[in-house]
């Protein structure tokens, strides 16, 4: 083969040019590059999917109040003043001059009313929003002036501030924009926040640009935030190593490698989610409390944390994580005791018990299942593992499909209000998301009281008691609240809320 | 010309039958799989009311045959409905990522041909020689090395360590150089196996043609080996290569799934992978329809190209006429 000199030079030049393009991009410090694990699904705050949308909505929209990193109480955001008239009524006064992006004008009380009315009455077609429950305590909104209004509640609701008004569900939308864009609002977010969604490339990424006409106080240190969607963890770690991202969620397997990179480190933050092994109280031997207690003693949680979580995640002793109101500090920690477990089974009249253990089919869930299987065997509990893909697994939450479950490994995400967590264990959720099918009148009553009590001290008592009831039922073997890891440049100070999956881009700043 | 048109027409009819058959099979298989998109995407927030409303919107509350008829009749006019999650037309969702997959698949196929054919010719130059044996080892190695392993190795070496090429994405829109840079590693990952395969195929075909009587005669008349290969042997030797192009393109599109995941590129493969996991049937059905259409079209075109390359194939078209 005769490679000509001209062809060789042209080819070499092309490769060199490609490398120069990349080098130039890596030095851009007015532009922050972050990674998302998923693409956006729907940016309509009432129909959003999860934390990815939350982070975009939080950056592009304002809420009446907001929570700052590390704070337990809200601060004012779009509202200049909030006056709590009674437990079921408050008034608000907006800051004037808060402009929506896209030329949709100034925010007024009409926009606040329109936003909340969507949650109460549904969208333009009357369809209820997926997140309607977040503002479900609100009965009506009355506009009393261009920037002022009055909000009446059906009942007192402490959760309203945490998971509603101060969260992505409380993002104030432009009435004019929603009426004009219709369902396109899901991919064309119009807000009054520090950033606006300038570009979205489906399945690839999006770009937020800082708005110079923003009237609020949130700094927004970066001119541009470029989000790259990278689903694969290995690819995400390599992208960080290659300077394609500056801030990226990573899994614990990459922690050491990232920490070894000059100018980079890993931020570790305990999560507030909750993962547990649930037992169906209607499934044969599991109806006997002693059998459930035996299983609780026969599962080696420490081995699960070491084997499935790499020794990285802390142990959960109850439902609510530290930092969440109602955290039960004195919750018991059940050590691995197969001898006692066997004794309990004997007392219940079982020489051995055969059960099916259902879980998701990802590597971590499978590891948990296998360790549970191995550690329960000496106690006389024989598990058959049933790993399901997410579609089949989450389908258990409908049409009483969970009736066939016996043991199930369940991972739920959390909110900062405890009532959001406890709602899935109510009697009314049997056949839906209460896969333990455990029912307790006291638990249900306490949940209702907790949702309508404004006294934090009383709420704390309530939620601790609810967790005690769950503990006494022995229907849940708590595993972990999770631990999140973020690869981060040394020059960057990110802003993460109590739930580490919630970020505030406007507070990301250079160190 | 008439024979070609007749040939094309008959292939189009069989293609349409294939397409409908594939759509029906996919439709029925999906209905057997448990799960729904609302439960997967929203988890516990998926209330029975929301699930029922969206199921009705997707037509899942109707009978299976009715659903099938609605799907087929709408797909015939390119109407795949609206995605219940993003509220966007599914046709838009699929077609906006399609160019990325096509670019990757065509780049892969082109790279395979550009590298594989010369390697095959080199190997056939001195059959049994050192170069032939070395290229044989190389070809088989390329064929047998899992593409996933190749992809990760390429990323580690050329992106993470050497920083020569990017890790993820498809590049800045409008910046051809940047987009080309983002295409290099994914293309290599899906093309390497095919380079080896095409090299072996060309070698075998070329050796066969070079042993034919007319080539031996030309050699006896003093025609140089280089001229023999270039003008008399290579074209017939490429017929089997062209014959597998259609299959190759289909394989490339299939390989694009993992390439798009590993390299975080947008594309049909990633869209389908997500749709399967999320039980987003309408998006999955639309994607598969597009892939089947591409596959059928590619095979039709390769058949026509084959006829253009090989007079014997063209003659058979004439002889099959009235």
Residue A356, domain CATH: 3.10.105.10
Mean pLDDT of chain A: 92
DSSP-derived pairing of the beta strands A407-412 and A353-360? parallel
The mean pLDDT of A204-219, rounded to a whole number, is: 89
Ranking A334-348, A407-421, A465-479, B120-134 by mean pLDDT, the lowest is: B120-134
Flag if B166 and A244 touch (Cβ within 8 Å): yes
Asked if the structure places residue A250 within a domain, the reply is: no
Phi/psi of residue A33, each to 5°? Answer: -110, 120
Asked if the structure places residue A247 within a domain, the reply is: no
Residues with Cβ within 8 Å of A292's Cβ and at least 6 positions away in sequence, in order, are A279, A281, A286, A473, A474, A475
What pTM was computed for the model? 0.88
Look at residue A22 in the predicted model and tell me its pLDDT: 46
b/e burial code for range B242-272 (CB count within 10 A of at least 16 → b):
bbebbebbbbbbebbbbbbbbbbbbbbbbbb
Residues with Cβ within 8 Å of B180's Cβ and at least 6 positions away in sequence, in order, are A18, B171
Q: What's the CA gap between A142 and A146, in Å, rounded?
A: 11
Look at residue A457 in the predicted model and tell me its pLDDT: 95
B chain contacts of residue A134, beta-carbon cutoff 8 Å: none
If we measure between CA atoms, which residue out of B151, B128, B110 comes closest to residue B265?
A: B151
If we measure between CA atoms, which residue out of A469, A464, A509 comes closest to residue A489?
A: A509
More confidently predicted of B39 and A87:
A87
The mean pLDDT of A411-431, rounded to a whole number, is: 94
Asked if the structure places residue A332 within a domain, the reply is: yes
More confidently predicted of B218 and A211:
A211
Cβ(A413)–Cβ(A501) under 8 Å?
A: yes
Cβ(B186)–Cβ(A232) under 8 Å?
A: no
Domain residues for the domain of A356 are 274-481
Confidence class for position B185, pLDDT limits 50, 70, 90: very high
Q: How many domains does chain A have?
A: 2
Flag if B169 and A41 touch (Cβ within 8 Å): no
In this structure, are A94 and A164 located in the same domain?
A: yes
In this structure, are A317 and A215 located in the same domain?
A: no
Q: Which two tokens stand for residue B197?
A: 């395969």
Cα–Cα separations (whole angstroms), residue A242 to A229, A266, A469 = 15, 16, 51
Q: Label residue B92 left, alpha or beta by phi (over 0 means left) and psi (-120 to 50 means alpha).
A: alpha
Number of inter-chain CB pairs under 8 A, A vs B:
152
CATH of the domain at A186: 3.40.190.10
Question: Which of B49, B181, B276 is facing A21, going by the closest CB pair?
Answer: B181
A2 pLDDT higher than 60: no
Cβ(A280)–Cβ(A273) under 8 Å?
A: no
If we measure between CA atoms, which residue out of B229, B223, B188 comes closest to residue B205?
A: B229
Q: Label residue A431 left, alpha or beta by phi (over 0 means left) and psi (-120 to 50 means alpha).
A: left
Confidence class for position A235, pLDDT limits 50, 70, 90: very high
In this structure, are A437 and A503 located in the same domain?
A: no
Distance of residue B166 Cα from the nearest chain A Cα, in angstroms: 7
In this structure, are A461 and A504 located in the same domain?
A: no
Distance of residue B99 Cα from the nearest chain A Cα, in angstroms: 12
Flag if A239 and B40 touch (Cβ within 8 Å): no
Residues with Cβ within 8 Å of A15's Cβ and at least 6 positions away in sequence, in order, are B164
In this structure, are A191 and A281 located in the same domain?
A: no
Q: What's the CA gap between B97 and B15, in Å, rounded?
A: 24
Q: Which two tokens stand for residue A437?
A: 């099918």
**Please, what sign has the CA dihedral across residues B9, B15, B19, B24?**
positive
In this structure, are A216 and A124 located in the same domain?
A: yes
If we measure between CA atoms, which residue out of B98, B20, B15, B55 comes closest to residue B282?
A: B55
In this structure, are A344 and A470 located in the same domain?
A: yes
Q: Which residue has the tokens 């209460």?
A: A434
Confidence class for position B215, pLDDT limits 50, 70, 90: confident
Cβ(A93)–Cβ(A147) under 8 Å?
A: yes
The gap between the terminal CA atoms of chain B, to the nearest Å, is 14
A399 pLDDT higher than 50: yes
Q: Which residue has the tokens 């290099």?
A: B184
A218 pLDDT higher than 90: no
The enclosing H or E element of A439 equals none
The enclosing H or E element of A416 equals none
Residues with Cβ within 8 Å of B275's Cβ and at least 6 positions away in sequence, in order, are B281, B283, B284, B287
If we measure between CA atoms, which residue out of A33, A29, A252, A485 comes closest to residue B169?
A: A33
Q: What percent of chain B has pLDDT over 90?
A: 26
In this structure, are A414 and A496 located in the same domain?
A: no
Look at residue A27 in the predicted model and tell me its pLDDT: 41
Asked if the structure places residue A252 within a domain, the reply is: no
Asked if the structure places residue A357 within a domain, the reply is: yes
Asked if the structure places residue A22 within a domain, the reply is: no
Ranking A13-22, B20-29, B46-55 by mean pLDDT, the lowest is: A13-22
The gap between the terminal CA atoms of chain A, to the nearest Å, is 56
In this structure, are A168 and A105 located in the same domain?
A: yes
Confidence class for position B305, pLDDT limits 50, 70, 90: confident
Q: Give me the residues paired with residue B9 across strands.
A: none
Q: Give me the residues paired with residue A76 across strands.
A: A65
Asked if the structure places residue A264 within a domain, the reply is: no
A426 and chain B in contact, CB less than 8 A: no
Q: Which one of A204, A405, A436 makes the best mutation probe of the B interface by having the most chain B beta carbons within 10 Å? A: A204
B299 pLDDT higher than 90: no
In this structure, are A424 and A310 located in the same domain?
A: yes
| Per-residue pLDDT tens over the stretch A18-64 | 544 444 444 455 899 999 999 999 999 999 988 999 999 999 999 99
Phi/psi of residue A144, each to 5°? Answer: -110, -5
Cβ(A468)–Cβ(A332) under 8 Å?
A: no
More confidently predicted of A1 and B46:
B46
Distance of residue A131 Cα from the nearest chain B Cα, in angstroms: 7
Look at residue A333 in the predicted model and tell me its pLDDT: 96
In this structure, are A188 and A278 located in the same domain?
A: no
Q: What's the CA gap between A353 and A283, in Å, rounded?
A: 12
Q: Give me the residues paired with residue A201 across strands.
A: A205
Flag if A203 and B43 touch (Cβ within 8 Å): no
Query: Mean pLDDT: which of A3-7, A479-483, A500-504 is highest?
Result: A479-483
Helices (H), A349-389: 363-376
Asked if the structure places residue A238 within a domain, the reply is: no
A chain contacts of residue B89, beta-carbon cutoff 8 Å: none
Flag if B166 and A398 touch (Cβ within 8 Å): no
B307 pLDDT higher than 80: no
Phi/psi of residue A427, each to 5°? Answer: -60, -40
SS3 assignment, position A83? strand
Q: What's the CA gap between A400 and A381, in Å, rounded?
A: 26
Cβ(B168)–Cβ(B184) under 8 Å?
A: no
In this structure, are A336 and A194 located in the same domain?
A: no
């Amino acid at each position: 083969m005769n490679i000509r000199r001209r062809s060789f030079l042209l080819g070499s030049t092309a490769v060199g040019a490609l490398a120069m393009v990349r080098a130039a991009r890596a030095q851009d410090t007015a532009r922050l590059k972050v990674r998302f694990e998923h693409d956006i699904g729907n940016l309509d705050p009432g129909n959003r999917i999860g934390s990815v949308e939350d982070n975009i909505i939080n950056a592009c929209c304002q809420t009446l109040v907001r929570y700052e990193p590390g704070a337990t109480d809200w601060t004012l955001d779009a509202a200049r003043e909030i006056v709590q008239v009674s437990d079921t009524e408050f008034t608000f006064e907006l800051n004037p001059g808060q402009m929506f992006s896209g030329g949709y004008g100034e925010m007024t009380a009409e926009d606040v009313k329109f936003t909340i009315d969507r949650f109460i009455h549904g969208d333009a077609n009357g369809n209820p929003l997926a997140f309607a429950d977040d503002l479900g305590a609100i009965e009506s909104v009355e506009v009393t002036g261009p920037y002022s209004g009055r909000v009446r509640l059906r009942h007192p609701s402490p959760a309203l501030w945490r998971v509603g008004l101060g969260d992505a569900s409380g993002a104030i939308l432009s009435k004019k924009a929603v009426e004009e864009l219709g369902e396109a609002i899901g991919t064309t977010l119009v807000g009054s926040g520090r950033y606006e969604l300038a570009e979205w490339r489906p399945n690839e990424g999006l770009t937020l640009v800082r708005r110079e006409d923003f009237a609020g106080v949130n700094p927004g240190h970066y001119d541009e935030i470029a989000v790259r969607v990278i689903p694969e963890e290995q690819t995400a770690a390599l992208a960080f190593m290659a300077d394609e991202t500056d801030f990226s969620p990573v899994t614990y397997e990459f922690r050491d490698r990232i920490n070894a990179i000059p100018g980079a480190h890993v931020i570790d933050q305990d999560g507030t989610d909750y993962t547990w092994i649930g037992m169906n109280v209607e499934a044969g031997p599991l109806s006997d409390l002693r059998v459930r207690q035996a299983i609780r003693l026969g599962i080696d949680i420490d081995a699960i944390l070491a084997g499935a979580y790499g020794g990285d995640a802390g142990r959960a002793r109850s439902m609510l994580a530290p930092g969440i109101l109602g955290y039960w500090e004195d919750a018991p920690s059940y050590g691995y005791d197969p001898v006692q477990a066997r004794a309990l089974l004997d007392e219940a009249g079982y020489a051995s018990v055969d059960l099916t253990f259902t879980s998701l089919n990802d590597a971590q869930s499978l590891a948990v299942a296998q360790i549970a299987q191995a550690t329960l065997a000496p106690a006389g509990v024989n598990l058959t593992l049933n790993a399901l893909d997410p579609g089949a697994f989450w389908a258990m939450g409908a049409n009483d499909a969970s009736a066939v479950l016996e043991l199930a490994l369940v991972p739920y995400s959390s909110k900062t209000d405890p009532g959001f967590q406890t709602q899935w264990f109510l009697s009314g959720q049997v056949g839906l998301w209460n896969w333990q099918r455990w029912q307790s009148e006291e638990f249900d009553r306490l949940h209702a009281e907790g949702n309508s009590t404004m006294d934090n001290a009383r709420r704390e008592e309530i939620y601790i008691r609810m967790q005690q009831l769950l503990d006494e039922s022995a229907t849940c073997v708590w595993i972990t609240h999770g631990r999140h890891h973020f690869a981060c440049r040394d020059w960057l100070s990110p802003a993460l809320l109590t739930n580490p999956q919630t970020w505030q881009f406007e507070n990301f700043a250079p160190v | 010309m008439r024979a070609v048109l007749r040939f094309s027409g008959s292939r189009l009819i069989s293609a349409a039958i294939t397409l409908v058959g594939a759509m029906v099979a996919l439709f029925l298989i999906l209905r057997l799989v448990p799960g729904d998109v609302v439960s997967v995407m929203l988890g516990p927030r998926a209330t029975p009311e929301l699930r029922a409303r969206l199921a009705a919107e997707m037509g899942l509350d109707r009978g299976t045959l009715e659903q099938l008829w609605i799907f087929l009749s709408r797909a015939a006019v390119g109407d795949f409905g609206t995605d219940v999650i993003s509220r966007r037309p599914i046709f838009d969702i699929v077609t906006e990522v399609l160019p990325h997959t096509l670019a990757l698949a065509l780049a892969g196929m082109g790279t395979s041909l550009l590298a594989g054919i010369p390697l095959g010719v080199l190997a056939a130059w001195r059959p049994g020689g050192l170069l032939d044996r070395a290229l044989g080892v190389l070809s088989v190695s390329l064929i047998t090395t899992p593409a996933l392993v190749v992809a990760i190795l390429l990323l580690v070496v050329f992106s993470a360590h050497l920083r020569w090429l990017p890790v993820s994405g498809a590049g800045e829109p409008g910046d051809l150089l940047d987009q080309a840079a983002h295409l290099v590693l994914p293309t290599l990952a899906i093309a390497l196996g095919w380079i080896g395969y095409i090299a072996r195929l060309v070698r075998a075909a070329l050796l066969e043609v070079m042993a034919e009587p007319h080539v031996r005669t030309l050699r006896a008349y003093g025609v140089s080996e280089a001229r023999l290969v270039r003008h008399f042997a290579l074209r017939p030797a490429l017929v089997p290569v062209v014959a597998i192009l259609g299959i190759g393109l289909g394989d490339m599109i299939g390989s694009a799934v993992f390439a798009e995941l590993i390299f975080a590129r947008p594309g049909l493969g990633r869209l389908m992978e997500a749709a399967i996991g999320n039980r987003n049937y309408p998006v999955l059905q639309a994607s598969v329809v597009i892939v089947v259409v591409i596959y059928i079209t590619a095979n039709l075109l390769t058949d026509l190209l084959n006829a253009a390359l090989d007079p014997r194939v063209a003659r058979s078209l004439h002889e099959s006429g009235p």
